[in-house]
Every structure is written in C-alpha cells, then in structure tokens.
Amino acid sequence: MNEPAIRIKSKLPYIELRRVPATVLMIIYAACFFAFAVWVVSESGYMNLPPEVGDGQAYDNIAYNLAVGNGFGHDWSDEAWREPYLKSNNDGYYDWVLEHQGPYYPTAFRPPLFPAILSGIYSIGGRKFSTWRYVNIGITVTVATLSAAFAYALAGAIPALIAAALAFFDTSFLFYVHRYMTEPLAALLILILVWTLLRYAASPERLYALLAGTVFGLMLLLRNIFLIWLPLILLLLWVLSGRVNSIPDRCWRLFAFLAPALILSVPWYARNCLVTGEFMPTGTQGTRVLAVGYSDAMFDTGGKWTFKTKMKILSSFDSAPIGGIQGEVMMAKEGKQRTVDWISKNYSRLPQLVALKITSLWWVDAQGYQHFLILLGLIGLFVVFGSSAFLVLGGLLVANTIAIALTWNVPHGRFLIPIHPILYFLAACAVYKLYLPLAAVGSKLVGKQAGAAS
C-alpha cells in the first residue's frame, strides 16, 4: 500500500487511484467546475456589469488609473471611468458610486496586489468586467482543484474526492466568484503557503523557506491583516526546523523566509510613508477602521463590523471637508486616536471584546455550510494530531483567529472564506476517519453473506 508524500501521523490508509490517473480526474473536475461557475455567473446577470457597490468600485478605480498611466490613486470624476456605471444605473443601484467626485489623488487606503492584477487585465484586454470574472472563476476553480490534489497527496484518493465535493458544493465560497473582492485570491495564496510549509516540514531546506516567504510577501501586498500572521508563522518555521540542530542554521532559514517577504513588501510600505508624509507603512485603511473594531458599538453587534456600525463611528470625521490623501491621513490619525482613547478607558472590557470577535468569526456570523465545515474541521484536527499537517494547518487557523481578535470581524463568515481550503482538507480527513469503521463493518457483512451463500 502506498504512503502519502507527506506522512500524516494518524495512519489514515492511503489509497492510490490506479485505473484512471489522478491528474486526469483533476482536469475533468476543474473543467466541470469552471463550466458550472460560468453558468452561475451568467445566469445571475453579473458577468458584464461594473463591480458591486462597496470595495469593488474602489479597486476598479485604482486599476483604471494604473492602466491609463495616472498612478496608484483615485479619480472619481473621470468621465471614461464613470461611463459604465452611468449606463448600468437604470435602477439607481450605482447612485452611491456616482456621487463620488474629485480630481486624481494618490491613495494609501488599499493594498496594491489586486488593483495591479486588475490593471494588467485592463491593459491587455481593455476594461471588460467579464474578463476579471472569468479570471476569478479560474482562481476559484484552482483553489478547489488544488485542495483536492493536496488531499490526494497527503491522505489518498478518498479524502481527495471528499475535499473536491466539499469545495464544489460550497455556496459560501462560490458567492465571491463574480465579485471584485480578494477572498478567492487570498484563499489561493494561503493554500500555496500551506503546501510550501508542509514541504518545509518534510524537508526543512532553505528553498522551501524562500518559496514560503515569497508567497507570504504577496499575501502582505494583498491584505494588510496578514502582517499579524507573521510572528506565528516565524514560530511555526522554527518548530518545523526540528531536524536542524544548529541554531545559526535555523536562523538562516528564518532569514530565507523573511528576505523575499521584505523585498516584496518594504518598497510598498516606503511608498505609503512618502505619499502620506507620515509613518504609515501599511497605509491609511487599518488605523482608520480600527476605531470601529474598538468601540461600544461592537458589543451591540456581537463583535462584528457592519456598515451601520461604520457609519455610526466614522461619520463624524469621514464627512470632514478635507479630501484626497490629506483627508485619508487625517481620518487615519483620528481613527488611531479614537482607538487608543477607547482602549485606555475600556481595557477591562478587552477580554470580552476579543471573545465576541472570536465567537462571531467561528460560529455566530458563519453561514450554515461553514458551520458544517467548522465542526468537521475540528474533528479533522484531532485526526491529524501529532503530524506536521496538524502544526501547519492548526497554526494558520490560530493565526487567522488572532488577527481577527486584534482587529474586527465582518458578517456572513467573510473572514473564514480564505481559510476554507484548510477546512476542506481537515473535514475530508474527518469524514474519511468516520467512514473507515463503517467500511470495515460493511466488508465483514459482505464477507459473511458470501460465505453463507457458498
């Protein structure tokens, strides 16, 4: 019987596909999933529409300005940019977007990776909104297919089939397939990070640390919140370097991880400081919105960020007459000061606030399907306990939890979406582990019936 490439200590029986190569099945699965997702988006009517109201039009605006050579910034009055929104505004849906006015200014509010990808798409094929949606469908399908492929490599054919099914029927993940948001891309990068860390655990070579650092650097350029993951990932790398007895050699492996992450992210952090004229390496978004994450209103909403909460907390200084990058800086400073003031007056309530955010993330505001994944994923952690998979997958789940506890959560399980690939694998291991005793009993019953018949 074949063993997985990266052994799972739980001794799950590893079953290899023999009659049909696994690669062929993965290609068929990906093709079917892609066709299904295209059909879903086409039927919804979103395929050729401008981005949904929210973060989408901000990414679109930055990408457009990058594509036309203006730079990384906003120009809400550009007629060519506004034209698709005007044409699609028969029902007034885009009124809020079209209310934005003002000349071009550089922004430090959004991380650069997603707008840069969009800009490349616009530069190559024109500003066709369907193009990004096809790309996003491809990213979503890649996440699902790689989740199944990794499950096959780690635990065999049956967990791979289970993981593939869990991804295919995950409507909470499919919800983001047509949106101008970063959830599928974040899930893909996290999945690749998981694989590099597991390879490092199996063979703690500097190459795998270098690859993991490169992926993490891209994650930092996608979402600032991943910076909070860094200490735990460094600790995880140190633990996974157990076979390396030399302390200097372990440190070199940490440096191999940090070097590409810093090379990718530090120029952007320096740019933000230059643009804002302040020490704001991660930009203006986090400190501004953190005032919502640390407020009395968070107790009223059960620890989650909502649009109503945001308006209640930020409206008094978001409506200030100062615009452009100066307005961003002013609001970031105000948000930081409000956060500090609230914490200084309410430090005794911090444990309760943290507990609310964590329970909101992992249960209260998760969607129905996510509850299913969470419960099976918890069982799956016990199944892989004691293995490198337990350390890597469990460590990243903890990193995500700490990041939310220190910032804020949002409704509808959105901040669980990027870690769904981890839950697919753990849930698949759980189902497989539960299936094995039943299969053994069934095999014995069939054997007894065959014996009686003979």
Output the DSSP codes for 252-306: HHHHHHHHHHHHHHHHHHHHHHHHHTSS-TT-SHHHHHHHHHSSTHHHHTTSB--
Rounded average pLDDT over 368-396 = 95
Q: pLDDT confidence of 120, banded at 50, 70, 90?
A: very high
Q: pLDDT confidence of 11, banded at 50, 70, 90?
A: low
Q: How far is CA 82 from CA 47, 49, 59, 268, in A?
A: 18, 13, 14, 28
Check whether 199 has a pLDDT greater than 80.
yes
B/e letters for 169-191, b = 16+ CB within 10 Å, e = fewer, are ebebbbbbbbbbbbbbbbbbbbb
Residue 3, Ramachandran bin (φ over 0: left; ψ between -120 and 50: alpha; else beta): beta
Tell me what pLDDT residue 8 has.
Answer: 63
Per-residue pLDDT of 52-103, as tens digits, reads 998 999 999 999 999 999 999 999 999 999 999 999 999 999 999 999 899 9
Quick one: which of 169, 185, 257, 263 has its CA closest to 219?
185
**DSSP strand E in 20-78: where?**
73-74
Higher pLDDT, 226 or 453: 226
Rounded average pLDDT over 374-396 = 94
Tell me what pLDDT residue 12 has.
Answer: 76
Quick one: which of 72, 307, 305, 60 has its CA closest to 181?
60
Rounded average pLDDT over 29-41 = 97
* Helix runs in 283-367, H state only: 285-293, 297-300, 307-318, 324-346, 350-359
Tell me what pLDDT residue 21 has.
Answer: 87
302 with 360: CB under 8 angstroms?
yes
202 with 78: CB under 8 angstroms?
no
Check whether 452 has a pLDDT greater than 70.
no
Check whether 42 has a pLDDT greater than 70.
yes
Check whether 123 has a pLDDT greater than 80.
yes
Check whether 114 has a pLDDT greater than 50.
yes
Residue 298, C-beta contacts closer than 8 angstroms, at least 6 positions apart? 292, 304, 305, 309, 353, 356, 357, 408
Quick one: which of 378, 374, 395 has its CA closest to 229?
395
Per-residue pLDDT of 135-170, as tens digits, reads 999 999 999 999 999 999 888 899 999 999 999 999
Per-residue pLDDT of 289-325, as tens digits, reads 899 899 998 998 888 887 777 767 776 665 555 689 9
**CA 261 – CA 196 distance, rounded (Å):** 14
Q: Report, in angstroms and rounded to the nearest whole number, the Rg of the chain calculated over CA atoms.
A: 24
Check whether 376 has a pLDDT greater than 60.
yes
Check whether 245 has a pLDDT greater than 50.
yes
* Helix runs in 156-246, H state only: 157-168, 171-174, 183-202, 206-222, 230-240
Tell me what pLDDT residue 317 has.
Answer: 63
Check whether 2 has a pLDDT greater than 50.
no
- Percentage of the chain with pLDDT > 90? 79
**CA 47 – CA 44 distance, rounded (Å):** 8
Q: How far is CA 418 from CA 95, 141, 155, 168, 188, in A?
A: 31, 14, 22, 15, 8
369 with 324: CB under 8 angstroms?
no
Q: pLDDT confidence of 5, banded at 50, 70, 90?
A: very low
Burial of 247 (0-12, 13-18, 19+ CB in 10 A): exposed
Check whether 1 has a pLDDT greater than 50.
no
Check whether 124 has a pLDDT greater than 60.
yes
Tell me what pLDDT residue 395 has.
Answer: 97
Higher pLDDT, 225 or 450: 225
Terminal C-alpha separation, the chain: 30
pTM exceeds 0.85, yes or no: yes
Structure tokens at 82: 């506004």
Tell me what pLDDT residue 406 has.
Answer: 97
Query: Looking at this protein, which amino acid is placed at residue 195?
Result: W
Check whether 451 has a pLDDT greater than 70.
no
Stretch among 24-28, 153-157, 353-357 having the lowest mean pLDDT: 153-157
Higher pLDDT, 253 or 454: 253
H and E: helices and strands count for the chain: 20, 2
Residue 228 has what DSSP assignment?
Answer: G
Check whether 372 has a pLDDT greater than 90.
yes
